[in-house]
Amino acid sequence: MSPGQPHITRRHFLRNLAGGAAVVAVGGATWRAIDQGVFSTGDGPAYAAWGEWDDRSGGFLALVRPAVLAANAHNTQPWLFELGTDRIDLFADTTRSMGAMDPLRREMYVSVGCALENLMLAAQAEGLRPAVTLLPDPSDETHVAQVGLGTGGREESPLYHAIPNRHTDRGAYDTSRPVERATLDRLASLNDVVDLRVAWITDEAGKRRFGEYTIEATVAIANDPEMAADSYAWMRQDWDQIQREKDGLTVDASGLSDIVRALGKLLPAQSQKKIDSSWVGATRTRTVATASAFGIVAARDRGDDRQRLEAGRLWQRLHLAATDAGLSMQPLAQTVERADRELSANLEPVFTNALAELTPEWQAVLPFRVGYPTGEPALSPRRPAEEVTRS
């Protein structure tokens, strides 16, 4: 377990059970609780990567350890690192696809871009001077970047130190503490790519519109059998499976309170319908309702792989800077996932048009929310550097 990670102790759990509706026979429940990792949140091989992030052993493998902690869609971790003597080549792993949830592979490229940003920060902290070439091989669209690693000055930025503390926060945000405009502007100033921008939505009417579109897109995904099934394929409800696969979306990282999470882990696996209906409910009552502001990382062309990779780098930088400033963030990609689905399946462009209205002249790549936290977000599983690296 990493420092600061909320941890349910057996005593805390049993006290809560006793105080609530203690309908489960304690012996059996305790056994199942142990089996399902109720007392082990953030522990085990699936979470070890968080504790090894600054292990400097193993040559360039030391740069991959922080890279694998990057944000990535549905925690699919669609990346592969090839270590050379003077460079690292980064590949997208298309076998870890989200299917109809990401039919145009936008989120795959954004995710690998996030990992690239962590890799760059780690290289600088290691005293190397990284030189990136995006999409270096026109004949291989999965070869997303080549990072040359010459020697340079050591630079340990606050963003680098935020790498193990950055987590997607799906909990409620503090509605009594708005994020100041100057803070948002400072975050947006981290963008140094002309083809990208960060748009903030802070006025009540704009926030209402963004919220409605996000809720409607969530419902549309839940009602689209192919999208719903491809999303459900990445849900991890079994503790053994989490420890084995070290990926996917878990109950622990869902933003629920300790006791509800514990009960969620105790219950038999939830059906796709049940998870989707909880997701729609949480989007309405927690996600959208408690955001201080919404933001959109937008590009000139969201179909362009280079801009998608740069958008991923920017998202990772924004989230690290927000973490450093004590803020929470959560991507809310449903509207863009739906717009990509409309394009690929030739559907009516409902969310394509809604997004064009939110960021005229620009194309939304990754919408998100920001606010001050009310709790501590949980760790997500990760495949360690060794499992995603080849020489």
Ligand X SMILES: Cc1cc2nc3c(=O)[nH]c(=O)nc-3n(C[C@H](O)[C@H](O)[C@H](O)COP(=O)(O)O)c2cc1C
* Residues forming the site for ligand X (CB under 6 A): 71-75, 107, 110-111, 114, 167-168, 170, 249, 330-334, 366, 380
Q: How far is the CB of 70 from ligand X (least distance, A)?
A: 7
Q: 196 near 310, Cβ under 8 Å? A: yes
d(CA 391, CA 88): 9
Q: In terms of CB distance, is 107 or 258 closer to ligand X?
A: 107
CA angle 65, 251, 237 (to 5 degrees): 95
Q: Which of 371, 318, 331 is nearest to 162 (CA)?
A: 318
The total of other beta-carbon atoms located within 10 Å of residue 131's CB is 14
Q: How far is the CB of 157 from ligand X (least distance, A)?
A: 19
* Residue whose tokens read 């000055």: 153
Q: 299 near 363, Cβ under 8 Å? A: yes
Q: How far is the CB of 364 from ligand X (least distance, A)?
A: 12
Q: DSSP letter string over 120-163?
A: HHHHHHTTEEEEEEES--TT-TTEEEEEEEEE------HHHHHG
Both tokens of 77, joined, read 């971790």
Q: How far is the CB of 7 from ligand X (least distance, A)?
A: 17
Q: How far is the CB of 10 from ligand X (least distance, A)?
A: 26
**DSSP designation for 373:** B
Q: In terms of CB distance, is 24 or 104 closer to ligand X?
A: 104
Q: In terms of CB distance, is 29 or 167 closer to ligand X?
A: 167
Type of residue numbered 388: V
The total of other beta-carbon atoms located within 10 Å of residue 271's CB is 10
Q: How far is the CB of 5 from ligand X (least distance, A)?
A: 12
Q: How far is the CB of 169 from ligand X (least distance, A)?
A: 8
Q: In terms of CB distance, is 96 or 167 closer to ligand X?
A: 167
Q: In terms of CB distance, is 17 or 64 closer to ligand X?
A: 64
Q: 88 near 59, Cβ under 8 Å? A: no
**How many residues can be counted in the chain?**
391
d(CA 377, CA 328): 9
- Cα(first)–Cα(last) distance of the chain, in Å? 30
d(CA 16, CA 311): 43
Q: How far is the CB of 47 from ligand X (least distance, A)?
A: 11
Q: In terms of CB distance, is 137 or 212 closer to ligand X?
A: 212
Q: How far is the CB of 73 from ligand X (least distance, A)?
A: 4
Q: In terms of CB distance, is 128 or 217 closer to ligand X?
A: 217
- Edge-to-edge strand ranges of the sheet holding 328-331: 196-201, 293-299, 363-371, 328-331
Q: In terms of CB distance, is 60 or 234 closer to ligand X?
A: 234
Q: In terms of CB distance, is 17 or 379 closer to ligand X?
A: 379
Q: In terms of CB distance, is 17 or 108 closer to ligand X?
A: 108
The total of other beta-carbon atoms located within 10 Å of residue 209's CB is 16
Q: How far is the CB of 332 from ligand X (least distance, A)?
A: 5
Q: Which residues pair with 148 in a beta bridge?
A: 87, 131
